[in-house]
Amino acid sequence: MAKLVINENKKLGTIAPEIQGHFSEHLGRCIYEGLYVGENSDIPNVNGMRTDVVEALKEIRVPLLRWPGGCFADEYHWRDGIGEKSGRKKMVNTHWGGVTEDNSFGTHEFMELCRQIGCKTYVNGNVGSGTVQEMSEWVEYMTFAGVSPMAELRKANGHEEPWDVDYFGVGNENWGCGGNMTPEHYGNEYRRYQTYVRQYDEKRPVKKIACGANSNDYHWTEGVLRTCFDHTPAHMHGFMDLLSLHYYTVPGPWEKKGSATDYTDEEWYLTLKKAYFMEKLLKGHMAIMDQYDPEKKIGLSVDEWGTWFDVEPGTNPGFLYQQATVRDALVAGITLNIFNKHCDRVKLACIAQMVNVLQAVILTDGEKMVKTPTWHVFNLFKHHQGAELLMSALDDEGETGTEENRVPMVTESVSEKDGVITITVNNLSLDRDQELTVEFTEDADRSVVEAAVVTAGDVHDHNTFDQPDTVKAVPFTAYQAKGRTITLTLPKASVVMIRVE
């Protein structure tokens, strides 16, 4: 029988709430329709932001939102998105579907959206096709309180006070869509651009994020850090606060990634194996970071992660719209547990993307909205935000899968906040329930205060606009508590959350 041993006296660090962050790009129906419908829409909204979506995002306590891209960021010129809407430039979104971008959602709208959600802001700047001056002035526009040309412009556009820009990305994927640079070239550009991302208010610092690698491109991480540390202690306060990493779980080759809802058992395990690869990836990149920054002053920001399948049949291929099943729930559960376990270095992460794109937590169709299985997993994991990671280890958990694609049977993480211990466990098996004995080190009686599970009758089940509640979290009752031991029966293909006092 598998056993989970928890040492409640060993606290391993705080789980940054930002690990459960989200990403929203001007891509398909993420911003337009998914989040923003405009003030004159029939869809209920506050200042243009759709109320149903904002409410659902508040429920999972979204801690942070990244915007405006993605690849879109390195072609985005922020001045196009300010001022009178009727006067804003209409242009082609060359990256995503060649559709018209009318710039009706810009800086002010993004800040308003974050205000409504109650989350931190992560603005991604343009290095690929923008200038140092443009980037510098954007930061001045958003964050300077005094008298300056950009602050006056912001005030003239109706916003007297500066906003908090909690994080600022200096470029996106500059090894690819952000300019096809070499690591050394980008490292030097980073040094230059970040110099002019000014801190106008020491009490409200803008944390700077350097563009990191794609998947297992360790050469990029090494090259960027070597370049940034050459001559300069890059971890000195305010030079580089975080380094990013992008990794998508793509089961098939790029031209045939696989269906989001129609998959074989082999594809199930292949997908989960690829999601679990995040563990190896983090270790690889963190080992390089440790060489340059052993004190861990620079955080890792996994600011794009999630499943990437073929688009829903009949939809615009440039919109990256996909459905979601309990397989996505497992990918989310596996990934978020891995982030928790590495909370000493992973300080921020963004699922891609928030609404209607890739592994979205919400799907919309006109005025209709559904929460995906991934939303339900975030709702279970929210208790980890800001909690202390506890030392925990599995024993005899075994493996599952096919001959080709082996994965651990169970993955987990455990944290404590305000005296309540939250345990999140995934059973990756398609056909076997798993007994798990949870044992605490301290000899004290434990009781369960809350428990829920996300699973499905059929692993291909998903939530549609007609049947929005097919896959959702339901109360979990398959446990027995006795003294310091709790015995659980984890249903096959499930994400379980159990909170203990």
User: Does an H or E element contain 192, and which?
Assistant: helix 183-195
Q: Which two tokens stand for residue 395?
A: 């024993």
Q: Which is nearer to ligand AHR, 325 or 353 (CB)?
A: 353
Please tell me whether residue 241 binds ligand AHR under the rule CB under 6 A: no
173 among known catalytic residues: yes
For residue 436, the SS3 value is: strand
Q: Which is nearer to ligand AHR, 48 or 258 (CB)?
A: 258
Q: Compute the least distance from the CB of residue 216 to ligand AHR, in Å.
A: 15
Q: Which of 293, 304, 328, 412 binds ligand AHR (CB under 6 A)?
A: 304
- Helix spans in 313-432 (H): 326-341, 373-381
- Alpha carbons within 13 A on the beta-carbon side of 42: 3
Catalogue the E-assigned strands of 137-184: 167-170
Q: Compute the least distance from the CB of residue 180 to ligand AHR, in Å.
A: 13
Q: Which of 18, 304, 388, 412 is catalytic?
A: 304
Site string for ligand AHR, 355-394 (x = CB under 6 A): ---x------------------------------------
Measuring CA to CA, which residue among 48, 84, 107, 77 is closest to residue 156? Answer: 84
Q: Which of 38, 70, 81, 408 binds ligand AHR (CB under 6 A)?
A: 70
Q: Which of 112, 173, 388, 412 is catalytic?
A: 173
Contact 144, 200 (CB under 8 A): yes
Please tell me whether residue 352 binds ligand AHR under the rule CB under 6 A: yes
Please tell me whether residue 169 binds ligand AHR under the rule CB under 6 A: no
Number of residues interacting with ligand AHR: please give it, by CB under 6 A: 10
CA 490 – CA 396 distance, rounded (Å): 15
- Helix spans in 244-372 (H): 265-292, 326-341
184 among known catalytic residues: no
Q: Backbone phi, then psi, for 282, in 5-degree steps?
A: -60, -45
Please tell me whether residue 171 binds ligand AHR under the rule CB under 6 A: no
**How far is the CA of 16 from the CAs of 24, 67, 81, 218, 417, in angstroms?**
20, 20, 31, 25, 12
Please tell me whether residue 173 binds ligand AHR under the rule CB under 6 A: yes
Please tell me whether residue 71 binds ligand AHR under the rule CB under 6 A: yes
**Dihedral sign computed on CA atoms, order 480, 481, 487, 492:** positive
Q: Compute the least distance from the CB of residue 272 to ligand AHR, in Å.
A: 21
Contact 348, 64 (CB under 8 A): yes
Please tell me whether residue 172 binds ligand AHR under the rule CB under 6 A: yes
CA 158 – CA 133 distance, rounded (Å): 23
| Residue closest to ligand AHR, measured at CB | 70
- Alpha carbons within 13 A on the beta-carbon side of 255: 0
**Nearby residues of 366 by Cβ (< 8 Å), 6 or more positions away:** 33, 43
CA 179 – CA 162 distance, rounded (Å): 30
Please tell me whether residue 74 binds ligand AHR under the rule CB under 6 A: no
Q: Compute the least distance from the CB of residue 500 to ligand AHR, in Å.
A: 37
Site string for ligand AHR, 8-47 (x = CB under 6 A): -----------------x----------------------
Stretch that binds ligand AHR, among 13-21, 68-76, 250-258, 470-478 (CB under 6 A): 68-76
Stretch that binds ligand AHR, among 65-73, 219-227, 422-430, 446-454 (CB under 6 A): 65-73
By CB under 6 A, name the binding residues for ligand AHR.
25, 69-71, 172-173, 304, 352-353, 358
Residues labelled as active-site residues? 173, 304
